Structures are given as C-alpha cells and as structure tokens.
Structure 1
Amino acid sequence: MPTFSKSNLLLIFVLFFCFQSHASAAPNVYDLVKYGVKPNTGANMSTLVNSAIKQIVEEAGHNTAITIRFKKGRYDFYPEGAVRKEYYISNHDQDNPKIVGISLEHYNNISLDGQGADFIFHGRMLPISLIENKNLTLKNINIDFQQPQICQVKILENDIQAGTITYETAPWVTYTIKDSVFYNTGHNWEMRPVAGIVFEQDSKRIVYNTSDIAVGTSKVTEISKGVIKATNWKNPKLKAGMIVAMRSWQRPNPGIFVHKGENIKLNNVNVHYSEGMGLLAQLTNNIYLEKFNVTFRGKKDPRYFTAQADATHFSGCKGVIIARNGVYENMMDDAINIHGTYLKVLKKVNKNTVIAKYMHGQAYGFDWGYAADSVQFIQSKTMELFDNKNTIAAIEVLRQNPTDPIREFKIVFTKELDEQVDPQLMDIGIENLTWTPRVEFSKNLVRNNRARGALFSTPQPTIVKDNLFDHTSGTAILLCGDSNGWYETGSTRNILITNNTFINALTSQFQFTNAVISIYPEIPDLKSQKKYFHSNIKIENNKFETFDKPLLYAKSVDGITFKNNIISTNNDYPAFHWNKKEILFERVINAKIEGNTINGKPLSLPENSK
C-alpha cells in the first residue's frame, strides 16, 4: 500500500476539495428547444429567444450558474418584434434606437451555447448585445445577415476609352435604379454605395495599389437583370473578373456589443458579416476571445468581404484583453484596435475643476470615468504629457435635458491642477489611466483586409506574438495616439512584438501606413515637441516577407529595439511605396537595432536609425 507524505496528502486534499467545489458549482443546463425555440422553421425568433432566456433565468434564479443551449440549426431574426434599445456605441454611428436580435442585460454566471447554430439577421440590426453582465460566456455561434449592406459586383467589361464599366451583381444582391442612380436594397433599407474595395477573383486579396476606389452608381442603365452599365465610371485598374465590394461609410451596429461587462468570454464565435465592427467592447473589465473569428462561411463562400469596419474594437476597457487563435479576414478595416478616449478640456473652473467633452461624432454617449480613477493630461498640439497625474474626486454629467446623450462632464480632482492645464493657454486632452488594459494578441491570422492589421494604444504591458499578418494591404501593426481628430488614446509604453510573420503588407496606401510596422502618433507640432510619446517598444524574432522597402517607421519614441528579425524580399508586386528606407525614424532616441538579416545578409542601417 503506498505511503504519502504530509505535503502530498495536503496536495491531494486541496485537489479533491477543488474538484468537489467545481463539481458542486457545475451549471444547470437548459435547452431552448423545450421553450419553443426550434431551428430551421424560418419563423422570426426576435421575440421568442429573448423571452425564453428571461424565463430560464427567472426559473434558475438570478446569479445561478447556468448554461442555455440552442439546438444546432438556423434561426432567423427580423426587426419586427425585436428589442429596441438606446445604445451609444463607441466608434459607430450614434443613431437610436438600436434594433437588437438577442439582448442579454444584467445577467451573471451564464453560458449561452449555440452548439454551432447559425443566427441569420434581416434588415439593419445589432445581432447580440451584452450589457452589464458578469461571468458571461458566448460560444459556438455563427452570426450572419441574409442581405449585407455591402454590395458585391463582378466587373464584366471596362471600356476605358468610352469611360464605361459594365458589372454584374452577386446573386443575393437586390437593387433599384432611380433617376439613373443605383441603390442596393434589403429588408426595410436601401443604400447608395459611395466607395469600393476591389478584390482578385481567385485569391480574394485586395488588388495591388488600389485602396478605396470610386464606384459607378450614377448614370447607370440596366442591360439585363443584374447586369448594370455605368457610363460615369472610369478606372483603368479594373479588369474583367475582378470583384468590387461597393459600400457606404455607415456603421450603425457591430455584430456583438459588450458594454460595462466583467469577465466576458467569447469562444468559437464566427461573425460572417456586420454593418460595423465584428465586435465592439467598451468599459469592460476582462474580456477573453478564443477562436473568435470574423471570417467567411468556409472556402466556398461566394462573398469577398466580412465586416464593414474593424473585426474587433475595444474602447475604454481595463483588466485584460486576450485574443487568441482568431481568424480575421477581408474586413473593411483593422483586425483589432485597442484604445481609450481623450476628453478635450473646454474650461478650467478653478484650481481643481474642469469642464471636458467628448469630441468625435462617433465617440460619446457613455461614461468616461469614475471617482478614484487615475488620469493624466496631454498637450494636444505636441502630444506631450504633463508630469503630474491626478485622481478624480467627483465627476458629473452636464446636459440640458435628462434624455440628452452624455457629452460633457464637470470633473473635480483631488489635487490642484498644474497652472499650464488651462484651455486658454493651449488645447488639452485628458486620459483615463485606470481604464487601460493589459493585452495579449497571439496565434491569430489576419489576412486580405482593408487598411491595417492591428492597433494597440495602451500604456499597460502588451504582447503581440505568434501571429500571421498576410496581405493586410496597409500597415500590419500600428501604434498611434491622437488628441486632435479621433481623440483615441494613448501612448504605448511596454509592448513586445515577437515571433510574428508578415507577408506582403503595404500593397495599398492607407492612413498611417508608413511601413510594415508603423509607430505613428498624430502630432501636429512635432518640431516643438520636447518629450517623447511612445516608449519601451521591442520588435524581436519576427519574419518579414516583402516586395517593398519599408519595414519599420517610428516617430516620437524613447526606447525601441529591432532585433534578430529575418527579412526576405520577393517580386510578387512592383515596389511603389514613397518610403524608400527599411527603417525610418523621426524624433527617436535610445534605439537598439542589431542581429537583423535581409536575404541572409546583415541589414544595413540608414544614418537616421543609428
């Protein structure tokens, strides 16, 4: 008979206790089919699903750990009978009310398991909202729309001399032509496309050196059903067989909206289309993505696009953001964007008090901070931080009517403000440091999307590792910061970018795309800047496969390492970028560049990088 030491016995007891505690806390399982929620009926589920979930929670008891399961199959959600909510969603159009397919509000300890179910939405809807939940898991769910607001067409003929282009709409597209103007239509909506992204037919990659293009929606005639001739569309880069995703700039709803959550997990969730971000999370403490994908419906999917904007976007979150093993492809903006929001100081009331305001038209209507939050101030023109941090003693929303959206705040601080913190002297922004997250972005695939790959703007430790950035069209990784336009914070002070592979970034010109990795804060008056915005950036052991020159661009950085990176060049596309240097720095100090090779030889450094 075996003998055990006291330490071993103690370990066994602890493990047994943990197992028993876990077993006793195992959640109850509720099958929605027993509540009348059945797949593949074609019926409108907008009312039934929400009612059934509410009934289950009441039966189980609030805060009881439960799993709610769908039976695998298709569920259709229509605006008719859907929940209507007033939501102000960061980086989206602030139109209200939002029409919500599944609204989960104030639920704790719930796991919603789709078991591979397809949620198909009709019209203009916000598919899923997660509002003020704790310990909530969403898993095994596919989100899609019957008719996306992006209109996909195929180029049939381009008569460059005549200035006419003939195109064919995809089979699912419906449209109308009024006064020779083309409108894409759907369930209770119509939209005139104003711009487009053009894709290669076979690879589904964005066509080299095209970026955003004008589209032919005026002076059109219908040649036959689905075949349109545009007599006011000139673009010599468009060839027969190319696919154009014609779109507007509207972004009313993300696929999933998370607001004021805590410990939110999204596992094996696929967003195949949304008219905004795939996921938008704001004011959330700890969010975990495991196999969260913004992706096609398999290899045979006839579409060439996914989300209308970013795949994932996080605004004013704290705790941790972990995104692992995701696929982000063919969206109309970035794979991930993490930032806070600067308020602009409008008035200094006294030595401890200011009036401050949300400035951007897609960033207002929600809380910005709370008593005891730590803050810092920044000079907007030079993007220089004031030395002294402060703490919120009290914060009050200012508005004329109780129903007005949140825009302005009266903020009282625990310590007296610096004398220079005065909007009569300069433009000043405020950053909330408490609501900044630690980040891990690892083992993800980003490919064939518009604009940029990944954006990180947090002073907390950030690690970007083991990812593949494949034909991101613009910059693969961007570190920015802006207190003048989007008002998106803030300085990155501790980031490690390692073991990533970058394949043919920079095939088109987009904003901030100065190199494969672009460190580009918006600084209107760089010449007057004395301090540095970003710091402690490490880029190590990555692989770059590129057809063009620029690898790394950095501006206003104190402390950057570019080490042991392997670069190989190819002839997949003609080099065209304006930046002809592998490494280009503006106001950078304490740079360490060593051990890098290009085509097997040491990478030489330009003068401004030494």
Structure 2
Amino acid sequence: MPLIEAARFGIEPNSEKDAIPALRAALTACRDTNASALAFEGGTYHFWPDRAFEKYAFISNNDEGLKRVAFLLRGKHHFRIDGRGAQFIFHGPMTPFLVEECRDLRIENLSIDYTRPFHSEGRILAVREDSVDLAIPEDYPFDIRNGVLVFVADIRHPSVPTTVKSGEILYPYGHLLAYDPERRETAYMVYDKYGVQSGIAAESIGPRQVRIQVPGVNASPGDTLVFAAAHRNDPGFVISKSSDIRLRNVRIHHVGGMGVIAQRSANISLDHLIVAPPNESRVISATADATHFTNCTGRIEIRDCIFENQMDDASNIHGLYGQVTRILGPNKLEVRLVHPQQAGLTFIEAGTRLEFSDHRTLEGFGECVVESVEYLNKEYSIVTTTEMLPASVLPRTVVADADANTAEVIIENCVIRNNRARGILLGSRGKMRITGNTFHTPGAALLFEGDANHWFEQAGVRDVVIRNNTFDNCNYGVWGDACIEVRSGIAEASRVASRYNRNITIEENVFRVFGTHPLVAIYSVSGLTFRKNSVELTHLYPPRKNDGHGWLDSSNCDRIQWEDPVEICGKRSLPDAHKVLVPVAEA
C-alpha cells in the first residue's frame, strides 16, 4: 500500500492558496489506491470552507448542524495522516477533521488554528456598576450596528447576499468572563456573566475603544474580558463509531467547540496532544472542553498531554441517559434524548442491554435487552425489549446502554492548567487510573458528576485510582469547593440511600493549597480510601470563604478510610510550575 505525498496534488506549503480542492483529490487517490498514508511537507497550509466537504453531523455536547469539513474520513482502515510539522490554518466556520466508522487511524505531527478565533477579547479600561470600557485588539474585528456590539470576520465572505443570508460571517457571543492577563488564567473568584446572547448595547469612546452597557460584570481594570463563543459548531477532531484511533504530536491552538470529541468509539489514544493558544496575544484555546468522550469502550489513553486555556474542562468521560416518556406496553416504551446536544445520537440499537435508573437517586434497578428500535426523529424512539419491563419503570425513569461507557481510562503525565471550570470529569464505568499529572484549575481538578435532570450524562464510577499527582493551588475560581469533588445530580433527599460512585482510591498525591478548604468533598459514595498524601500551604491567593472546614467534607457515605495528609513546609508555588512543557514524542 503506497504512501501518497500531498505535494503531488498541488498542496503547496507556505502558500495562501486554498488547499481544499487539492486535498479532496489527494483523499480520493488515497481511497482508490488503498494508500497507507497521506503525508505533507512541513510548512503552513490554508483551508477555506467554500469547497470543503459538507455533512450534517450530530456531535455529542457540541451543536448539531450542516458542517463544512476539511478532512472527511469515512470508512478508512489502517491509514495515517502525517503533517511532518505542518501548520493547518482554517478560514471561517469549518470542522478540521471528522472521522467516521474508521479503524486503525493515526493523525500526527501537525497543528491547527484559525485566522479569526470564534471568541473575542478586550482589555478592560474601566468597570462601573452598569458598564465596562474596553480596548479591543485588531485580532477581533467588530462593528457597532444600531447601537449593538457585533464581532465580525477578519475579511468579508465572498458569498452573495440573499433574502435569508447576508453573505457575512459573524462571531456571536454567549457570555462574558474576566481573565488575569499576567497569570493567563481566570481572574480570582470571577463568575460568568450570562444573558448577553441577544447582543450588548455599545458606543464608541475612541479608536478601537467601546463602552458596553452591561450591569454586574465581575471584573477589574486591566483584566482581559473574553466574549465566549455562543455556539459549539466547529470542534477540532470528531471521532464517531470508530476504533483504534491515535492522535500523536498534535497541537490545537484554537477551535470553535471541543478540541477532540469521541462518541460511541473504542480504543482512543491521545499522545503528546497540546491544546493551548499559539502565543500570549490570546488567552483562549478551544472554546469548550479540550477533550470529551461519550459512550466509549475499550481503552482511552491520554498521555503526556497539555490542556490549557480552554473555555471548559480538560476532559469529560461519560455515557448518555435517555428519559422514558411513555410506557406503551409490557415490553415497549418511548424514550427521549432530552438534552439538545445529545439529539440525533445513536445510543440504543437492537441487542443493546438497557440499564434502568431512578432519576432522583441515579441508582440502577433493572436491565432489559433491546429487541428493536424505531427512531421517530432526533429526539424520540420507540423501544421494544425481549422481556417484560421492570415494574419500577415509569415516566422520568432514565435508560442507558449498559455496555457502553465502559472504557478503561489511563490519564498519565499530563499538565492541566489555566482553563475555565474544572479539570477532568470522571464518569466511565471501567477502571480509571489518573497518575503523575499536574493540575492548576480554578474549579475542582477531578469531578465525579453524572445526572438525569439537566445534562443527562451517565456516570457512576466503579474503580478509580488517583495516584502521584500534584494539585497545584486549585479552587481559585467558582467551579468547585474542593480539589476532588462529587457533584452528581442526586436529589438531596435521595443522597442517604444512593451510592452512585464507588471504590475511589486517592494516594501519594501532593496538594498545594492556599487555604484550609477541603481537599475532598463527597456524598453518596461507597468506598473511598485516602492515604499517603501530603499537603503544602501556600499564599498564592487570598483564602476562600469555606476555609477551616477540614480536609474532608463528606456526607451519606460508607466504607471511608481516611488518613490525614502529612503537612509539609509550603512555598508560594512550585518552581516554574506554570512553565512545564511536555517534550515532543520521538518518531
């Protein structure tokens, strides 16, 4: 099987020419010749959406829609894309990679970025009770139209205006958040300002300076105010119904959604993946999670990666809950995918082993095997089972695929820092091993979640080991009260009976904290061991309001083995703690 050089098709490095037409020809040749690889020369390549592939895609925890795609990889087996250090630059809304029903696929040695980020930023000049003054850099073009702040593209799109389309690309914002420009992280204890998606009243007060009329913005002069992207339309790597997929030596400088999202896939490896801004002129990398895994099986391996400055968590690993809406017979029911970012996903098929759970306790109470599924539309399905439904199945009961979301997870030697929200959301039912990582997150570094009332994400861990990690001054923001925390969506009245998360071991870690707030906060857990850990008290931030409550905050738990951490002499911060670089893997 030949290796095909992209240059043969006129894909030229360091050219402003749109590489899409030649890329399509190269991918067709790879298919026709059963090529083993497509390789690029080092350099910069530009990709425009005008002639890109087009596909309507349902993508978990991102926004569905008709996507323009650069690398549309369907049914590719035993194939490799090697960038050889290439920089892929994308112009306007488009999804760089969509991998569907592939097996044994490697993507390596490349970076992706966009000419115009999907978010926008401005330096705060003044903050008042009902307004904020900003200086907006040239990287974020904007207009004030009819008294409303509108962010626009770096160049006008060549499309012809119609009665329903202006021919212009806009960059809408969904909420505001302040960042500390020196530390390049969310400012201390700031919170998001929502309610701005319909537009913000604004006026010009000088060259590239505006006054926005927004009351109650939690920020200070000198902060960088981020206008977060309103949508998650363009994630970087979408992996769907695929297996044995490896990303190696890949840098994601920016995407308009999640960096990597894998759904209903098996055996995913991320090796030396870096999600980070390209330089210090930006404080945001991905506009959502760095990585995300939904209903994955086999193994998920995340090794030697850096996840920083993304607008949400470093990773979230979970399953899906559908909600029972009607009982149609003794072995027949109607199921709805409730959350709009789950609509359209295939999560029940003939032969699926369904797990039924109470939406209040999240505890499972029965199983059935699916005989057939009739998908009515992207939300509703009619499910027939091979046996009688359990008597406790009622409307609002939730169902999950009992054999999905079972991946064994290894997250090792990674650096997670300076992002909004949390570190890793742990929700796989398989073994999970979190070892040798460094966390500096404004919220909980590790979170056990899952709920059946809002996100409808199945979790409930069964075997987790958290060992030899450094938790470096976490919880300087509002997204959690402890370094390691449970926030499962269990109704408060049901927490006494529920034991949704089980068998968690936390050992040989270093907790560097700027106060005496809890290291671990849990409820409805059966089996937690905390041993051989140490704690260092620093003074990097002011103390939190929940200081003095002890290292452990637990309720409604059993089988807890707690050994107080050894307190050692603290420093302000680990030497060069925020300059850790993961070396590039050798070929």
TM-score where L is the length of structure 2: 0.90
Q: Distance in 1 between matches of 2:375 and 2:243?
A: 27
Aligned to 2:143: 176
- 1:198: which partner in 2? 178
Whole-angstrom CA distance in 1 between matches of 2:22 and 2:509: 50
Give, in angstroms, the shift of residue 382 of structure 1: 2.0
Q: 2:250 aligns with which of 258, 264, 269?
A: 269
Alpha carbon RMSD of aligned pairs, Å? 2.0
Q: CA deviation at 1:329?
A: 0.3
Q: How much does 1:202 deviate? A: 2.1
Deviation at 1:280?
0.8
Paired residue for 1:508? Answer: 477
Structure 1 counterpart of 2:426, one-letter code: F
What corresponds to 1:524 in structure 2? Answer: 491
Distance 1:376 1:179, change over 3 A: same
Give the Cα separation in 2 of the matches to 1:318 and 1:286. Answer: 7
Q: For residue 391 of structure 1, what is the amino acid of its counterpart?
A: V
Instruction: Give the distance between the partners of 1:294 and 1:236, measured in 2 at CA.
Output: 27
Matched, 1:56 2:27: no
SS in 1 for 2:325: strand
Residue number in structure 1 paired with 2:386 = 414
Please tell me whether the aligned partners of residues 374 and 432 of structure 1 are also in contact (alpha carbons under 8 angstroms). Answer: yes
- Match 1:546 to one of 509, 513, 531: 513
Contact 1:379 1:385 in 2 (8 A): yes
AA aligned to 1:538 is: T
Q: Compute the displacement of 1:431 (Å).
A: 1.5
Matched residue of 1:50: which SS? helix
Structure 1 contact 357–409 (Cα < 8 Å) conserved = yes
Amino acid at match of 1:378: S
Q: CA offsets, 1:428-479, max 9 Å, x none?
A: 1112121121111111100000010001111111111110002x11111001
Q: Is contact 1:537-1:561 (8 Å) kept?
A: yes
Q: Quote the Cα distance in structure 2 between the aligned partners of 1:521 and 1:46.
A: 44
> C-alpha displacement at 1:231, in angstroms?
5.1
Q: After the TM superposition, which of the residue ranges 44-53 and 485-494 deviates more from structure 2? A: 44-53
Tell me how far 1:595 sits from its aligned partner. 5.2
Runs ≥4 residues deviating over 4 A: 214-217, 231-236
Give the distance between the partners of 1:433 and 1:499, measured in 2 at CA. Answer: 31
Contact kept? 2:349, 2:373, Cα under 8 Å: no
Contiguous gaps of at least 5 residues in structure 2: 158-167, 571-587
Aligned partner of 2:300 in structure 1 is 321
The answer (yes or no) to whether the contact 1:165–1:234 under 8 Å persists in 2 is no
Residue 28 of structure 1 is matched in structure 2 by 2
- 1:125-204 counterparts in 2 under 5 A? 125-155=94-124, 157-158=125-126, 160=128, 164-186=131-153, 187=157, 188-204=168-184
CA–CA separation in structure 1 for the residues paired with 2:194 and 2:490? 30
- 8 Å CA contact retained: 2:273, 2:306: yes
The offset of 1:561, in angstroms, is: 0.7
**Residue 293 in 1 paired to residue 264 in 2?**
no
How far residue 211 of structure 1 moved from its aligned partner, in angstroms, is 2.5
Alignment partners' CA distance in 2, 1:173 and 1:301: 15
Identity of aligned residues (%): 26
SS at match of 2:30: helix
* Secondary structure of 1:189 counterpart: coil
1:465 corresponds to which letter in structure 2?
A: T
The residue type paired with residue 264 of structure 2 is: L
> 1:236 offset after TM fit, Å?
6.9
Alignment CA distance shift 1:230-1:345 (3 Å): closer
Q: Which residue is equivalent to 1:556? A: 524
Corresponding pairs, count: 552
Q: CA separation in 1, counterparts of 2:285 and 2:524?
A: 35
Give the secondary structure class of the aligned counterpart of 2:474: coil
Distance in structure 2 (CA, Å) of the matches to 1:214 and 1:411: 38
Deviation by residue 1:560-582 (Cα, 9 ceiling, x = unmatched): 11111111111211112446332
1:46 match = 20
CA distance in 1, matches of 2:103, 2:528: 38
Superposition map of 1:252-263 within 5 A: 252-263=233-244
* Alpha carbons of structure 1 residues 194 and 431: separation in structure 2 relative to 1, 3 Å: closer
Q: Distance in 1 between matches of 2:127 and 2:83?
A: 49
CA separation of 1:585 and 1:34: change in aligned 2, threshold 3 A: same
SS across alignment from 1:57:
helix
Go from structure 1 to structure 2 and tell me whether the alpha carbon gap of 1:458 and 1:469 turns closer, same or farther (over 3 Å shift): same
Amino acid across the alignment from 1:429: V
- CA deviation string 1:336-358 (max 9, x = no partner): 00111011112223333322121
Q: 1:444 aligns with which of 411, 414, 435?
A: 414
Question: Matches of 1:528 and 1:598 in 2, distance apart?
Answer: 32
Aligned to 2:439: 469
TM-aligned CA distance change 1:600 to 1:562, over 3 Å: farther
Residue identity opposite 2:415 in structure 1 = L
d(CA) in 2 for partners of 1:301 and 1:324?
Answer: 25
- Would you say the 8 A contact 2:360–2:490 is kept in 1? yes
